[in-house]
Structure 1
Amino acid sequence: MNYEATVAYLYDQLPMFSRVGQKAYKANLHNTIALCDYLGNPHQKIRTIHIAGTNGKGSTSHMLAAILQAAGFKTGLYTSPHIKDFRERIRINGQMIPQQQVVDFVSKTMDISSNIQPSFFELTVAMAFDYFAHEAVDIAVIETGLGGLLDSTNVITPILSIITNIGYDHQNILGDTLPEIATQKAGIIKPNIPVVIGKAIAETAPIFLQTATNNNAPISFATDHFNTIEAINNNGYLSVTIKQKNNLKNLNYKLGLTGLYQTENICTVLQAVEILNGIDFNIEEQHIQQGVRDVKLMTGLRGRWDVLSEQPLIIADVAHNKDGITQVLQQLQQQYPHKKVHFVLGFVKDKDVAGVLALFPKNGQYYFTNAHIPRALPANELATIANQAGLAGEVFDDVNIAIDTAKQRLNNDAIIMVCGSFFVIAELNIL
């Protein structure tokens, strides 16, 4: 098979959660273990950092990878989902896995795949491990796909585990309460392996503390060590001042990721760097400065408060649950309090769409759309749910037509905000 046929096989022949939802999710690690065993257990040949969380795990993964690159480490990065190109999921020093490597991997695993019928995610996780081991990376940053305990990535024994935060998402799989969801995420905590918690609340902190105690795992909460005291958008960067609590020192950074929610993620990253330096890494302040500033250039991350156009102002963000959307709406209000916002929205079927829509302002201009995947919520159904929440707008089958329509209606003090789904963002022509 050539590369195009190989990717078509991955998408069409293997169950893919992002396209079909829960029926692609397998609540065990059997297939991943079988694949890794078949490949000679490549995950045991590399050092890894494991990152879970409801929101922020992608940004945290990319910032940490960029810092490690800046410090001179050959750094693997596995994340999901991708936005434009399947190969975004698997990178070394920011460079996507070569097409031929994808073809060769699928070819050499065709027999076992026919036998055990892995999901898309199970096979791509094994592909990442195999590629990172083959290329002898110094360290690989591995982001979970969904949950933690039963996530396919959870076959690794990392040198550090990170859990960014806990919020409501994928309740149909992870549980209906925050403690239930936290229990699943805490499944990445391993015996004697340090774990950093980015943000814990009263409902979730006891879960992390107890799991860490049970595993004799040193645990630290980023908020006990670092606190952002100022954040200002300035010339395409987010300038942040962070108080380092143990020595009352202020640290100043320019973040290439300009969403205000990154003020939480940067504190998590800083605490992770402290732990890594306590192991055997030598990450200096200049490496942190470079990594957080140039993260988009170094790792290719897109879709996080992504300014796609200045005239008119068009922003895209992959926020898709209550916590993520709340942060986007807060930043719009804080940064552009007097501008009218034209919202281009699309969601997938298995989200709490009604609960998310209840957060949006009634005076916004709305354009309801959908991605072209089976899991997408049809735009007309989205419009019906939105109308019940008091939001009025029009229906578009293509996000690009929705944006073009919004552009025709803008005045000088208006913004187009695109959010609600990775998969709607993926179909943007201007990304």
Structure 2
Amino acid sequence: MTSDAILARLMGLHPKIIDLTLDRMWRVLDALGNPQDNLPPVIHIAGTNGKGSTQAMIRAGLESQGDRVHAYTSPHLARFHERIRLAGELISEDALSDLLDEVEAANGGQPITFFEVTTAAALLAFARTPADWTLLEVGLGGRLDATNVMTPALSIIAPVSIDHQQYLGETLPEIAGEKAGILKRLTPAVIGPQEEPALDVIEDRLRALGCPALIHGQHWHVWEERGRLVFQDERGLLDLPLPSLPGPHQMQNAGIALAALRHLGADEGACEAAVTRPHWPARMQRLREGPLVRAAGGAELWLDGGHNPAAGEVVAATIAAMPVRDTHVICGMLNTKDVAGFLRPLAGVANSLTAVSIPGEANTLSADDTAAAAEKAGFAAGTAPSVMAAIERIAEGAPGARILICGSLYLAGRVLQENG
């Protein structure tokens, strides 16, 4: 049976997609022989925004010095296999199918969420494949996330902001407390830029656990100077190229990655590779070929998977920093997101918004509802039956414009599939 068929079946093992508790993980991991106890040294990454970019930068830096790196991330864009890298390579179809079968058998038909099954499969793969490092990105929150089942070599908390309130709490301190749940006693931690209410909670947790900490603004700093990235910590200064991943927000993600790499003993060459070599699709990604690009004609086509208010701010800042050009947004979002909060910053840098529904996604917000929220946020908004139709309409009316597709990683995945 293919991995897609197995994954589809596994979706039925629990009535909820998200159910935060670690009880089921401990049970299935114990049945599998506790692979989490036999992983290569783990770097565990939590946060609201920037986790994936930070992980990609750390991986690029470690791999540049010849290290073999496992990596686990979510969600995927086009294929589930993107979530699991074994010693640098995407997991094979045969390996993934066998692992999923093994985890399903160990679970014995008991309730377990999709993310818990797939995380257990990833940990099993990582424990069986030699490597130098394991990079684990938290799926949701931290304290009760399925990845929070080992003591890492290093914990990282990227910037925390408001998102997933139905699971993590309504306030920034509550959400920060959930993210800080990945911290372990006496384990070093790198803390990215934080708003003061979040930082207060994180620092309290660091002190309670005796964690040696490298905190932005206290132990390390990062800034742009004369078109270069400058990083400073207690070891001295680094003068590096600007991050290759687009957007001014990537400066802070690079700072987190550099702080982590310096803690791990990486040299300047690895640090430069971290900011110049990472590949991270659907994060202000310029699409340059494919049917959607051809439909855009002379218009630039960009893709981003951001979906919360903080992401809206950084996407808007990225557009504002680009050469001046009419910008038209195509947006599809989930009905669980703060749509107005995401769109409000974009209204100041874009000329129009065309709303679409996310194909094949049960929790999509309708195009009409997205357009209504966009109008309240200050957009001139309309709808289209598909991304392709929206691109064609914009390209016809505004040739040479910039088109940004955004609002959801699920939409971004569909776009990448459609664009080949």
Question: Could you tell me the TM-score, scaled by structure 1's length?
Answer: 0.89
Larger mean Cα displacement after TM superposition, 389-398 or 301-310: 389-398
Distance in 1, Cα, partners of 2:195 & 2:376: 32
2:116 paired with 1:122: yes
Larger mean Cα displacement after TM superposition, 154-163 or 327-336: 327-336
Match 1:328 to one of 315, 320, 338: 315
Residue matched to 2:379: 391
**Which residue identity does 1:5 align to in structure 2?**
A
Larger mean Cα displacement after TM superposition, 245-254 or 39-48: 245-254
Distance in 1, Cα, partners of 2:42 & 2:70: 9
Distance in 2, Cα, partners of 1:118 & 1:271: 36
Q: Are the equivalent residues in 2 in contact too, given 1:52–1:163 (CA < 8 A)? A: yes
Distance in 1, Cα, partners of 2:244 & 2:3: 32
Q: Are the equivalent residues in 2 in contact too, given 1:69–1:291 (CA < 8 A)? A: no
Residue matched to 2:240: 252
Question: CA offsets per residue over residues 114-148 of structure 1, 9 Å max, x none?
Answer: 43221110011111100011112221000000000
Residue matched to 1:294: 277
Residue matched to 1:358: 344
Once the two structures are TM-superposed, the CA of residue 319 in structure 1 deviates from its matched residue by: 1.2
SS in 2 for 1:408: helix
Distance in 2, Cα, partners of 1:230 & 1:395: 42
Q: Are the equivalent residues in 1 in contact too, given 2:2–2:97 (CA < 8 A)? A: yes
Residue matched to 2:225: 230
SS in 1 for 2:26: helix
Q: Are the equivalent residues in 1 in contact too, given 2:325–2:402 (CA < 8 A)? A: yes
**Which residue identity does 1:273 align to in structure 2?**
L
Question: CA offsets per residue over residues 290-314 of structure 1, 9 Å max, x none?
Answer: 2332211xxxx20111011384211
Matches within 5 A, 1:104-253: 104-224=98-218, 225-230=220-225, 232=227, 240-246=228-234, 249-253=237-241
SS in 1 for 2:368: helix
Match 1:423 to one of 387, 390, 410: 410
Q: Are the equivalent residues in 1 in contact too, given 2:257–2:274 (CA < 8 A)? A: no
Q: Are the equivalent residues in 1 in contact too, given 2:152–2:187 (CA < 8 A)? A: yes
- CA root-mean-square deviation: 1.9
Larger mean Cα displacement after TM superposition, 339-348 or 286-295: 286-295
Residue matched to 2:6: 6
**Which residue identity does 1:38 align to in structure 2?**
A
Once the two structures are TM-superposed, the CA of residue 245 in structure 1 deviates from its matched residue by: 4.8
Match 1:76 to one of 70, 74, 88: 70
- Provide runs of 4+ in structure 1 moved above 6 Å: none
Larger mean Cα displacement after TM superposition, 149-158 or 114-123: 114-123
**Which residue identity does 2:334 align to in structure 1?**
V
Once the two structures are TM-superposed, the CA of residue 361 in structure 1 deviates from its matched residue by: 2.1
Distance in 1, Cα, partners of 2:226 & 2:347: 24
**Which residue identity does 1:375 align to in structure 2?**
N
Instruction: Note closer, same or farther for the CA distance 1:199–1:59 as it changes in structure 2 (3 Å cut).
Output: same
SS in 2 for 1:226: strand
Q: Are the equivalent residues in 2 in contact too, given 1:178–1:203 (CA < 8 A)? A: yes
SS in 2 for 1:402: helix
Between the two proteins, the alignment pairs up a number of residues equal to: 406
Distance in 1, Cα, partners of 2:254 & 2:145: 25
2:348 paired with 1:369: no
Instruction: Note closer, same or farther for the CA distance 1:79–1:253 as it changes in structure 2 (3 Å cut).
Output: same
Residue matched to 1:37: 30
Question: Could you tell me the TM-score, scaled by structure 2's length?
Answer: 0.91
**Which residue identity does 1:382 align to in structure 2?**
T
Distance in 2, Cα, partners of 1:15 & 1:416: 39
Once the two structures are TM-superposed, the CA of residue 344 in structure 1 deviates from its matched residue by: 0.4
Question: CA offsets per residue over residues 336-388 of structure 1, 9 Å max, x none?
Answer: 3x311110011111111122223232662211012121111111221122233
Distance in 1, Cα, partners of 2:171 & 2:140: 16
SS in 2 for 1:203: helix
Distance in 2, Cα, partners of 1:139 & 1:250: 24
Q: Are the equivalent residues in 1 in contact too, given 2:13–2:114 (CA < 8 A)? A: yes
Stretches of structure 2 that go unaligned for 5 or more consecutive residues are none
Q: Are the equivalent residues in 1 in contact too, given 2:87–2:131 (CA < 8 A)? A: no
**Which residue identity does 2:182 align to in structure 1?**
I
Q: Are the equivalent residues in 1 in contact too, given 2:306–2:312 (CA < 8 A)? A: yes
2:386 paired with 1:407: no
Once the two structures are TM-superposed, the CA of residue 151 in structure 1 deviates from its matched residue by: 0.6
Match 2:47 to one of 42, 53, 57: 53
Instruction: Note closer, same or farther for the CA distance 1:191–1:113 as it changes in structure 2 (3 Å cut).
Output: same
Distance in 2, Cα, partners of 1:250 & 1:274: 10
Residue matched to 1:343: 329
SS in 2 for 1:204: helix
SS in 1 for 2:217: helix
Q: Are the equivalent residues in 2 in contact too, given 1:399–1:424 (CA < 8 A)? A: no
Q: Are the equivalent residues in 2 in contact too, given 1:160–1:194 (CA < 8 A)? A: yes
**Which residue identity does 1:286 align to in structure 2?**
G
